[in-house]
Amino acid sequence: MRFRKNQKSQDLYGRIEGGIKVRIMDKVAVITLNYNGKKDTLELLRSLSKLPTTNYPLRPRSEASQLLTLVVDNGSGDGSVSAIHKQFPEVDILQTGANLGFAGGFNKGLEYAKIWGADYFLLINNDCIIKDPDLVHMLLKTAKSDPKIGLVSPKIYFAPGFEFHKERYRKDDLGKVIWYAGGKFDWDNIGSKHRGLDEVDSGQYDSAEETEIFSGACVLVRKEVLSSFAKAMEDKGGLDEKYFLYFEDSDFAKRAKEAGFKIYYNGKTSIYHKVSRSTGIGSKITDYYHARNRLIFGMKYATPRTKFALLREAVKLFIFGRPIQRKGVLDFYLGVTGKGNIASHIESGNVEYPLKLSIGIVNYNTADLTRKLLESIFNKNSGFDLEKMEVIVLDNGLIDPAKKAIEKFLPKIKYLENKENEGFSKGYNKTIRFSLGQYYLMLNSDIEVLPGALSELVKTEDAFGGQAALGGKLVFPDLSRQDSAFYLPTITGALKEYFLGQWGSYFMYQPESEKPVKVEGVAMACLLIPQKIIKKVGLLDEGTFIFFEDIEYARRLKKFNIPTYFVSRARFVHHHGGSTKRIGREKATEHLVEAAKHYHGIFYYTLLTFVLRLGQKFGRVETPQTRWRE
C-alpha cells in the first residue's frame, strides 16, 4: 500500500530523539484481521494513509520496503476481499479460508510477516482508526529504548460515538474519552483493568511507562518476543489458539513477562477504537468465550485460592447463568478449546482471494535456470497475468543465489532468502505460507513454461471447481516426452512392472490423452494445488531433505479423496535433474535412500528393495535410469 508522502516522511526512519534512532533497516509489518467487517477495515486502511513512510511501494516484493500492510481475512463472505483489493491494490490480503478467531487469524499474519523479515509487528484491530501520524515512530522509539521492552501499546480513545456512557460527556469531550491508558491485571477476579477508562483526557496519562498489560486492539511486538516463545516446548511463537477470542492477549502478556520482556504504554501517541464493534457488548459470542476462556486462563496461571474461587463461581454460573454461558462453562470441563461449537459461528461459503494464482519457485545453486524460468513465465504467451497472479522466488541457501541473475524481475516478484539450504519441502512450504493466490503452482527451478501453459492449468482447475490437484505435461528440452505421472509405489506394482511387463505399474509413465486424465500422482516439478486443498491436506512433509515429497503428498491426497489429474495441454520443459545434480550424485543417493526409508518404513523399504533387486536381475523390463526410483 502506497501511503501519502509528507514532510515527516524524511523523519520516520532517520530521526534521533533522546539518543534513540529508528533505523531505516527496521521493517515493520502492520497487521489487521478482518471477518465480515468490510466497512471498518476500509476505514482503517484509509486512516493508515496518515502514516509517513519512505517513497517505496509497500508490497513485500519490493526489497526497499520497510513497511508492510497486511489484512488477514478470516473467511469473510461479505465481499471484503474484493472491495479491499480494489481500493487498496498494494495491500497484501492473506485469506485463511475459515474463521480462525483472533488468535488463529493473527498467527497467520505473524507467520507471513516473519517470512517477509519483519523486525516489529504492529497488530491493530480493524475497528480502530489511526489518529496520530507519528504512531509507528513513537511506538518504535519506546521499544528501542530498551531491548527488554517487548510490547508497546499507545493511548486508546473511544472512537467518537462509541463511548460506554455517552450521556456523561459534553460534545467537545467526544474523541477525548479514554478507553486504555495502561493498566494492570486483577488476579483476584481474573480480568484486565484499564487505567483511565471513561475519563476525559487532559494530559494525565501522557507519559511512556511500564505497565502490566497491553491492549490487543493495538500493540507493537518485537520479533524477539515471538522467537523466545518458539523456543518453548509446544509453543508456535504466537497467540495461543486455545482461546479463539478473548484472553489470548492476557495469555500473551503473561508469557512475554515470563520470558523476561517488559510491557510498555506510550501515552504520547494514540488511536481511536470502536469498542466492541466486532462482537458487541453482551452478545452470545462474548458470553460464551468470556465464560470459557476466563476458566482456561485462570486455571493455568492463577493461585490455588483463586482457582478454587473460579471453580465455585463456574458452578454458580452453570446453574444460574444464561444458556450460552452455561455452555461455555460446560465446554471448559469437557476440554473444548479453540472455536468450539456455537451457532453464531456459521461459516460463509463465499471465500474470496485477492489473486488467482501464486507460483512458488525454490532456487538452490541454479541461478541460470531460475532466470530462464522467470523469462518463460513473464513471456506474454505463457498466460501469466500480473494483475491476478504473483511469483515467489526463494533462494534456498546462498551458495549460488539467483538474486543477481534475476535482478530485472525483482520489482515484479516476491523474493525471499534462506541463509542455509533447508531442503525441498521446507523451502516450498515457505513459499506456500507466503502466497496469496487461490491456487498455488509449484515449479522446480529447472522448468520452463511453454505458451499457454499457465492459463491452461488455471482454466482446468476452474472447471474442476478448485477440487483437484493438477500436474502439467513435462517434456525434455528437445520437446520429446518425459514421464511424470505415477502410481503409488508398492511391491505389487514392482512385480507387475518387472516380472509381468506392465509398463508404468511402478515407474513413471505419461498418459496418452488430450483431456485431463485422473492419475494417482504427478511429479512435483509442476504441481498446482488449490489453497483450500492445502488447508485440508496440509503442507509438504518436512521429514525428508529432498525426494519422495511428491509420492508422500500423492498418498495424502488419495487418503483425503482428492483427485489428481494429468493435464497434457499444459506443457512445461523440464531440464530433468537440473536441480538435484547440483547436490552431487553421492549426496543425492544418500538423500534418496533416507527419503525412501522415511516414506516406506524400514521393514517395507527392505522388502521392496529386495523385490527391486530381483527384478533388476531376473525381470523382463530394463527401466531407463531417468525413470528409476527406490
pLDDT 10s digits, 169-184: 888 899 999 999 999 9
Whether the pLDDT of residue 250 is over 70: the answer is yes
CB contact set of 274 (below 8 Å; sequence gap of 6+)? 40, 127, 128, 129, 159, 162
Q: Which residue, chain included where needed, has cell 542455509?
A: 420
Query: Beta-strand (E) ranges in 488-618?
Result: 517-519, 521-522, 526-530, 564-574
Whether the pLDDT of residue 339 is over 60: the answer is yes
Per-residue pLDDT at 11: 38
Whether the pLDDT of residue 583 is over 80: the answer is no
Per-residue pLDDT at 490: 79
Per residue in 414-428, pLDDT tens? 999 998 888 899 999
Here the cell at position 588 is 543425492
Domains in the chain (CATH in brackets) are 7-273 (3.90.550.60), 355-589 (3.90.550.10)
Whether the pLDDT of residue 157 is over 70: the answer is yes
Give the rounded percent of residues in the chain with a pLDDT score beyond 90. 67
How many whole angstroms separate alpha carbon 568 and alpha carbon 517? Answer: 8
Here the cell at position 460 is 482446468
- In this predicted structure, which of 83-87, 328-332, 597-601, 621-625 has the lowest mean pLDDT? 621-625
Across the range 248-264, mean pLDDT stands at 96
Per-residue pLDDT at 195: 97
Across the range 578-587, mean pLDDT stands at 60
* DSSP character at residue 159: P
Across the range 237-262, mean pLDDT stands at 94
How many whole angstroms separate alpha carbon 480 and alpha carbon 464? Answer: 28
Give the pLDDT band of residue 591 (cuts 50, 70, 90): low
The segment with the largest mean pLDDT, out of 12-21, 357-366, 569-578, is 357-366
Give the pLDDT band of residue 439 (cuts 50, 70, 90): very high
Across the range 232-236, mean pLDDT stands at 54
Across the range 538-555, mean pLDDT stands at 87
Measured over the CA atoms of residue 216, residue 221, residue 227 and residue 228, the dihedral's sign is negative
Give the pLDDT band of residue 614 (cuts 50, 70, 90): confident
Answer with the residue of higher pLDDT: 7 or 255.
255
**Amino acid letter for position 462:** D
Across the range 498-507, mean pLDDT stands at 73
Per residue in 79-93, pLDDT tens? 999 999 999 999 999
Q: Can you say whether residue 79 is alpha, beta or left, with left for phi > 0 and alpha for psi between -120 and 50 degrees?
A: left
Whether the pLDDT of residue 25 is over 80: the answer is no
Per-residue pLDDT at 278: 54
Across the range 575-600, mean pLDDT stands at 67
CA 135 to each of CA 131, 197, 413: distance values in angstroms, whole numbers, following the listed order = 8, 21, 30
Q: What is the mean pLDDT of the chain?
A: 86
Helix or strand run (H / E) with residue 587: helix 585-600
How many whole angstroms separate alpha carbon 533 and alpha carbon 558? Answer: 12
Here the cell at position 440 is 498455488
Measured over the CA atoms of residue 607, residue 608, residue 614 and residue 617, the dihedral's sign is negative
415-424 — which CB contacts under 8 Å span 24+ positions? 415/61, 415/63, 416/115, 416/392, 418/394, 421/364, 421/396, 421/397, 422/396, 422/397, 423/396, 423/542, 423/544, 423/545, 423/546, 424/362, 424/540, 424/544, 424/545, 424/546, 424/547, 424/549
Give the pLDDT band of residue 19 (cuts 50, 70, 90): very low
Across the range 133-149, mean pLDDT stands at 95
DSSP assignment of 495-522 equals HHHHHS--TTSSS-B----SS-EEESEE
Whether the pLDDT of residue 470 is over 70: the answer is yes
pTM metric for this prediction: 0.88
Per-residue pLDDT at 15: 45
User: What are the φ/ψ torsions at residue 401 (nearest 5 degrees)?
Assistant: -65, 150
The segment with the largest mean pLDDT, out of 177-181, 285-289, 403-407, is 177-181
How many whole angstroms separate alpha carbon 302 and alpha carbon 295? Answer: 10
